[in-house]
């Protein structure tokens, strides 16, 4: 996903952090990641809200899928919506999939 690496008088400069042709240095990547972690409720969402039994799916595989979807959704929402409420929106949207994940990854009895 492209991210703003610099803001100039002509506007924001958007580049991908993962591509090697982006010419983004390591301090810029670390600063951006630290900003995303500390300027948002991401840690509160990850440790307290997403692990709530009423939101998190019950089976182990469904929790893995839930965590992956929540991570991607949080990254997209923080980058393109808002840093301050992006994790909440992502948790709301992915939390709607919890009943479907529970049904899809339900453990089946052996007998």
Contact 78, 86 (CB under 8 A): yes
CA distance 50 to 105: 18
Same domain, 44 and 88: yes
**Per-residue model confidence (pLDDT) at position 5:** 66
Report the number of distinct structural domains present in the chain.
2
Contact 61, 107 (CB under 8 A): no
Same domain, 17 and 45: no
Rg value, the chain, Cα: 17
**Per-residue model confidence (pLDDT) at position 63:** 92
pLDDT tens digit string along 10-66? 877 776 666 555 566 788 778 878 887 888 888 888 888 888 888 899 888 999 999
**Per-residue model confidence (pLDDT) at position 78:** 87
Quote the domain boundaries for residue 56.
Answer: 40-111
pLDDT at 92 over 90: yes
Q: Cα-flanking dihedrals φ and ψ of residue 7, to 5°?
A: -120, 120
Number of H helices, E strands in the chain: 5, 2
pLDDT tens digit string along 77-88? 888 888 888 899
């Amino acid at each position: 996903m492209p991210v703003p690496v610099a803001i100039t008088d002509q506007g924001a400069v958007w580049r991908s952090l993962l591509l090697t042709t982006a010419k983004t240095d390591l301090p810029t990547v670390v600063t951006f990641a630290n900003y995303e972690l500390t300027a948002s409720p991401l840690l509160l969402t990850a440790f307290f809200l997403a692990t709530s039994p009423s939101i998190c799916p019950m089976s182990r595989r469904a929790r893995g899928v839930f965590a992956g979807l929540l991570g991607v959704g949080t990254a997209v929402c923080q980058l393109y919506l808002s840093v301050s409420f992006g994790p909440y929106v992502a948790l709301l949207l992915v939390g709607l999939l919890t009943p479907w994940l529970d049904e899809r990854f339900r453990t089946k009895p052996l007998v």
